[in-house]
Structure 1
Amino acid sequence: MKLNQIARLTPDTTTQYAELKALGFNAAPAEDLTTLVQSDLPLLFPEAYSAAAKREALANIAIDETHTLRDLVEAPAQWLNATTFYAAALQLLGFEPFTDYQLSDPASFMAATQLPAVETIATSADFLQALYLLLTTRTKHLVNYLDDLANRGFFAHYQDGKETPTYLFFNGKAQAVFDPRKLVREVVWVESDLDTDHDGQRDLLETTIFRPAATDQGVKMPVLFTANPYFHGTNDEAVKAITHVPDPHLAVKTVSHTKADVTATPAEPVTLPHKAIEQTSTIAEVYADEQGIYSLNDFFLSRGFVTVYSAGVGTRGSDGLRTTGDPAETASAVAVIEWLTGKRPAFTTRDGHTAIKAWWCNGNVAMTGKSYLGTLSIAAATSGVEGLKTIISESAISSWYDYYRENGLVVAPGGFQGEDADVLAVDTYSRQKRTGDFLRVKPKWDQALAEIAAGQDRTTGDYNAWWDARNYRNNLANITCDVVSVHGLNDWNVKPKNVIKLWQGLQALPIAHKLFLHQGQHVYLNNVLSLDFTDQMNLWLSYELLGVENGAKDVIPDLTVQDNVTPQTWHHYSDFGAPAADHPVQSLTLDQATGRGASFVDDATAIFTAHHQTSDDFEAEIVRPGKNSLYNDVRLWLDLPAFGNEVTLEGIPTLKLRLWIDQPTAIISARLVDVGDAKRFTPNASVIEASGYQLGYDFKADRIVEFGEGTESASKLITFGHVNAQNPTNAYEIQQIEPGKPFTVDFELQPTHYRLPKDRHLALIIHGADMAQTQRPTTITNYHIDLQASILHLPLRTDEH
């Protein structure tokens, strides 16, 4: 086990003493050691209310094989030293003697686990330093030790006797001094500038608020806002009816476009009447019956952060229609932020005229969320809306074309074949769950859905103005808030291109941007044991939203990447792909390829159908080495020369192919594979503790998970890419393919960071249709690759970790 910790600060001793005193510890270094030990150590058992109960708790923590913490408290001068302190401290952190470590040698385990320690504990100053360090150290249960104490009631009475509750900051972070069980749950309706259902009235957006009760006592708090189109449910049965069947035909394109053709024109603003305000109130009229959906948001409730959720236009309780990623969805999220910061009205009911303000908000907002939720965080950030201080977007889309399309092809996110923008619109149109409301707007919804289907263009797969309106990277220059991005290097749902292109586009802006890349798929990061992501976000949000000068921008690395070979290891860099040098493979001609070219026949759809395979089956088979793969005869497998030493790929591999085919169009796919028998990381994290991640005192809990090695395998997919043969350079200009005549395509594979041990090598697989990702044409196509005229560029990181 390795407990990597970045967010732990080391302030000067004067600050440490002051912070310990604020927690209630005796922190006077001039006090004799016995007095400090006897007053402070019993406080580490907040679940024990009486002195007798605390003595029993102390007696259950061993300091060696014959003595306990109670012995140490009763006679510190006799028993206190670094070994006995840390023998006990490890138990306080959740570790078990004889199973995890030996009582006589806690230091070895602490070094292996990366837990900090002081070398000598002999004086009062030593003891206070060790106590401060212990409180900031991570536990076996993900959170740091002070958070663990808070979960056991350490701050249960912190606000007692205060007319107005107050925040508490320790080690640069907001502490859990607000009772998460005492929440005001309410719903309001924010007035937008939209009329997506074309009824001549501004769309009202249902917005759910969970705020600590301390706001009713005068505490103004910042907001964690999650724009969540799934918040009020999904329409799974309706989705089944509309999901597309992968097209068995690949269209021959006849029309090429210019950049001007595919550039979206902003819609003219619509003049709409404001909803009349007849009276105002500070009290909501509707109780919020939905639950929060993100454990990181829940974690911050007890730390004095309000959490707000809004599903947006076309969802249950709101007006409007679903539009899948367009500017209306951006405006929908922005409207909620503007209400939170006092610049827009909201109402206590959907039909009424009583206005209500977010009078409890301090004017600072962060957006959080994964996937569609994180996507709308990016969208809102590109508006430059005032009051949005930062976003924490995970597994998020930065261009919807890169989600549902690729280089002139219709592709499926994460192998979810048949999903598209119209399918997602239906899935999130929870307005239909209230039948009366749904029936009133059904004709307009049917028309809107038809417009989405036409705009997305499943026939050509080309980039167009409809997709351009959903490309947030067009508007990155508007971003004024700081950005935290999180993404899985094995996320084939929202593919890594989305986050790396965002990262590259933000580099010139005067904002801070932090990027976390993990070895998982489409998942959150906050409950992964080996990284203190939750603690880092506490440092970050305390700075961004509460104005704590904690150095968060400097403490948190710009780029954190999880290693793919050594478990529980994270590397830190200043930039992605830099410094790096291209490693061009000048020719793909290898010993096993005879002559100048290499050929294969794409009949993958027939094989896939005959064997009744799934997308997952195809993914496993296409990268299986040798003749044991069902698809061995419908691919070109090229083993690349071994590097002779360990290398790290980091960046965007590019592939230039010179080829000819016997059809007027074709799908060209490429996969870069790690080859060699080895135990590799599984793309799904394992559950370490089902409810181990405690989110507050007597409150919710989440799973703790970790990525680790699976069973031995012969190969693993590193990255892939696809291109329509008719789109050699971009997704809107086409070339006419003459069967039998050579042509060239040049395309990118998905960005990657991948450490390749010296005893393994790379293979490049070139094939046609991808059963998991692309359309599934039944036309049999012959491919002939000119290997000598084809080049693979592999970006290699050349600096040390």
Structure 2
Amino acid sequence: MLSNHKINHWSNRLNCVLATISLLLIFSHQASADEKKASPQFKDGEAQIVKAFADADYWIRHDLWVETEFDSDGDGKLDRMHVSVTRPRQTESEGLKLPAVYISSPYFAGTGSKGRQYFWDTKQELGAVPKKRERVPSVVRKGMRPIISKSHMKDWVPRGYVVVHSSSPGTGLSQGCPTIGGDNESLAPKAVIDWLCGRAKGFTTIDGSDLVTAKWCTGKVGMTGTSFNGTLALAAATTGVEGLEAIIPVAPNTSYYHYYRSNGLIRHPYGYLGEDIDYLYDFVHSGDKNRREHCNCEIRDKELLKQFDRVSGDYNRFWAGRDYLNDIKPVKAAVLMSHAFNDWNVMPEHSVRIFKALQANGVPTQAYFHQGGHGGPPPMKQMNRWFTRYLHRVKNGVEKDPKAWIVRAGAKRDQPTSYADYPNPKAKPVKLFPGAGAPEQGTLTINTQPAQGTEKLVDNFSFNGTALAQAEWTEHRLIYVSPKLAKPIHISGTPRISIRLACNKPAANLSVWLVSLPWTEGRNSKITDNIITRGWADPQNHHSLTESEPLKPGQFYDLSFDLQPDDQIIPKGQQLGLMIFSSDRDFTLRPTPGTELTVDLDKTSMMLPIVGGTSALKESLAPGKKK
């Protein structure tokens, strides 16, 4: 019998032979297929699929670990991020240098258990200390080396890019701790970009010293990704890292406060009632088992749970540190934002607020909006032009294109309508005023209606907003409805509600919807959704987002806050409906029913951004016609 030493010797020899044969096959394939060296090709300002790059069987795939500038897991060593690379063979056989499309994520190695038993209990009195929630079982990492993910490869490698993936801190084979918006989640992708540009160290193993370089990269990097992955693209850009030339964030979470709170109110993302930032930490934490307890203690228990304030919902230093708008100044990368106006998970304000701030700072920007739900990237043509311009430096004139591209209701996602900007430059604010009518429908008009007095509603979370909007008679909401539209109206921008109210208790939820009536079952080609937009606020924060105060029963308070941005054409024959209610069954906490809100109609109004302004809305409302 052969000894173990001999077996290992011959096994290593066999591996060397197989590796040599593999390289010979690659080089012989290249020599027979290409008489001249392959290179990226461009037509009409877009990178074209190059046959020599398109055969996935000849792509080179490998992984490595990039050293960062932080130690977030407290082991006394700089954390290393797990990175995988997929590139055309010509980057090896011909010395070809290409730009990189880079995607980072906490999800690549698997996620934790889902289920309401792991969320916070939303049946809670406002201002009360919540019951502890059940912890998510430890995540079992999935995935084998060297491929972290195969996403985006088919789109970009054949067009002359290297595709790079990395697992974010504390996930997969990356070291460190997840912090859900902390500084290390910005510095981790920065380190990978530094490595791609020759400024940071990459190693062949997680704890070794053998170096690996990105000699095949031009030093031009673009990032993209959806949801958390899109967040990390923006996070990297906020570091101002050299070499990150362009990003395409799709439905990015740009502020964890705006994701889990709203104007002082504890408010959850749609479909995840009871989720909060500590659950998201548990959900993604798939990293080193030996460091998990340290991370759980130092990050989750001492930082997240002690500072996220699930009692008052106030904005504080913790949330400010997880708001990328506060870090926007260093951004140099050209930004193509993508979002949906009916995304009630990561709501459209996340992209709109960043888009406008970047414009103000002179950063090259475009925005793509559609009428669907969470996710949805721009058309390939638009993304291709963006990366071609900023990563390959082809002067295709993309910076002169319209700034806003909006998919109209009923149109295909790849057929957006272009506009000079968002909001539409022709949109002007128009004030609308409510007229009494509770418990049935009141009126909604352009003209003030004097001496309307007050109207009362009674909170009851048992009824969701859809049911309340359709109800002919109910004490659980107030609704004010315009005349039927004689012509379509185009809403573009961020509506704002100003309201004076009183409460019979020290705390209450406040929810506001703008809807299109009559209600349409399902979706049709003209109406994407009867819910035009919505917003939430805590009346206790009427004077400050950072300091709430208990309401004095019976005393009136003035509040003014934004609803979610929108761009929608409301068709002829519909009516606008302003609905005011308390607990929103799908988004807010659910206190015991019975809280009463009294609204002073004479001190309440809505500002609606209408293309064409007051004259356009007056013409559409056709004065004199009844509802």
- Separation (CA, whole Å) in 1 of partners of 2:544 and 2:397: 42
**Superposition pairs for residues 277-676 of structure 1, below 5 Å?**
287-294=145-152, 297-431=153-287, 437-450=288-301, 451-526=303-378, 533-554=379-400, 556-564=401-409, 570-577=416-423, 578-589=425-436, 595-604=452-461, 607=462, 618-627=464-473, 632-676=474-518
Q: Would the aligned equivalents of 2:148 and 2:166 in 1 still touch at CA under 8 Å?
A: no
Tell me the residue number matched to 2:111. Answer: 234
User: 1:722-766: per-residue Cα shift (whole Å, max 9, x none)?
Assistant: 000101144213344110111111111101111112211100111
- Separation (CA, whole Å) in 2 of partners of 1:571 and 1:680: 24
Residue 579 of structure 1 and its aligned partner are, at CA, apart by 2.6
- Separation (CA, whole Å) in 2 of partners of 1:656 and 1:576: 23
Residue 581 of structure 1 and its aligned partner are, at CA, apart by 1.2
Aligned pair in 2 of structure 1 residues 567, 676: CA closer, same or farther (>3 Å)?
farther
State the percentage of identical aligned residues: 31
Q: Would the aligned equivalents of 2:434 and 2:480 in 1 still touch at CA under 8 Å?
A: no
- Separation (CA, whole Å) in 2 of partners of 1:774 and 1:679: 25
- Separation (CA, whole Å) in 1 of partners of 2:294 and 2:40: 51
- Separation (CA, whole Å) in 2 of partners of 1:210 and 1:441: 30
- Separation (CA, whole Å) in 2 of partners of 1:176 and 1:780: 63
- Separation (CA, whole Å) in 2 of partners of 1:320 and 1:304: 33
1:216 to 92, 103, 115: 92
Residue 551 of structure 1 and its aligned partner are, at CA, apart by 1.5
Residue 470 of structure 1 and its aligned partner are, at CA, apart by 0.7
Aligned pair in 2 of structure 1 residues 204, 677: CA closer, same or farther (>3 Å)?
closer
- Separation (CA, whole Å) in 2 of partners of 1:744 and 1:470: 29
Q: Would the aligned equivalents of 1:159 and 1:166 in 2 still touch at CA under 8 Å?
A: no
Q: Which amino acid aligns with 2:39?
A: T
Tell me the residue number matched to 2:37. Answer: 164
- Separation (CA, whole Å) in 1 of partners of 2:411 and 2:105: 35
How many pairs are equivalent? 555
Q: Which amino acid aligns with 2:388?
A: S
User: 1:595-642: per-residue Cα shift (whole Å, max 9, x none)?
Assistant: 5111111122xx35xxxxxxxxx3542332425xxxx33111211244
Q: Would the aligned equivalents of 1:729 and 1:747 in 2 still touch at CA under 8 Å?
A: no
| Consecutive unaligned residues in structure 2, runs of 5 or more | 1-28, 130-143, 443-450, 617-627
Greater displacement, 505-514 / 640-649:
640-649
- Separation (CA, whole Å) in 2 of partners of 1:423 and 1:565: 37
Tell me the residue number matched to 2:20. Answer: none
TM-score, normalization by structure 2: 0.84
Q: Which amino acid aligns with 1:585?
A: L
- Separation (CA, whole Å) in 1 of partners of 2:156 and 2:32: 17
User: 1:120-164: per-residue Cα shift (whole Å, max 9, x none)?
Assistant: xxxxxxxxxxxxxxxxxxxxxxxxxxxxxxxxxxxx999833453
2:61 to 178, 185, 201: 185
Root-mean-square deviation (CA, aligned residues, Å) is 2.5
Aligned pair in 2 of structure 1 residues 586, 430: CA closer, same or farther (>3 Å)?
same
| Consecutive unaligned residues in structure 1, runs of 5 or more | 1-155, 254-285, 432-436, 527-532, 609-617, 683-707
Q: Give the structure with higher Rg (CA).
A: 1
Greater displacement, 453-462 / 367-376:
453-462
SS of residue in 1 equivalent to 2:380:
helix
Residue 205 of structure 1 and its aligned partner are, at CA, apart by 0.6
SS of residue in 2 equivalent to 1:299:
helix
Q: Which amino acid aligns with 1:438?
A: K
Residue 180 of structure 1 and its aligned partner are, at CA, apart by 3.8
Q: Which amino acid aligns with 1:797?
A: V
SS of residue in 2 equivalent to 1:413:
coil
User: 1:288-346: per-residue Cα shift (whole Å, max 9, x none)?
Assistant: 1343234xx53111111111111211012111111001111001111111111111001
Q: Would the aligned equivalents of 1:600 and 1:783 in 2 still touch at CA under 8 Å?
A: yes
Q: Would the aligned equivalents of 2:479 and 2:577 in 1 still touch at CA under 8 Å?
A: yes
Q: Which amino acid aligns with 1:549?
A: K
Give the 4+ runs in structure 1 shifted more than 6 A.
Answer: 156-159
- Separation (CA, whole Å) in 1 of partners of 2:119 and 2:521: 37
- Separation (CA, whole Å) in 2 of partners of 1:624 and 1:211: 55
Greater displacement, 379-388 / 580-589:
580-589
Q: Which amino acid aligns with 1:470?
A: R
Q: Which amino acid aligns with 2:495?
A: P
Residue 590 of structure 1 and its aligned partner are, at CA, apart by 5.8
Tell me the residue number matched to 1:268. Answer: none
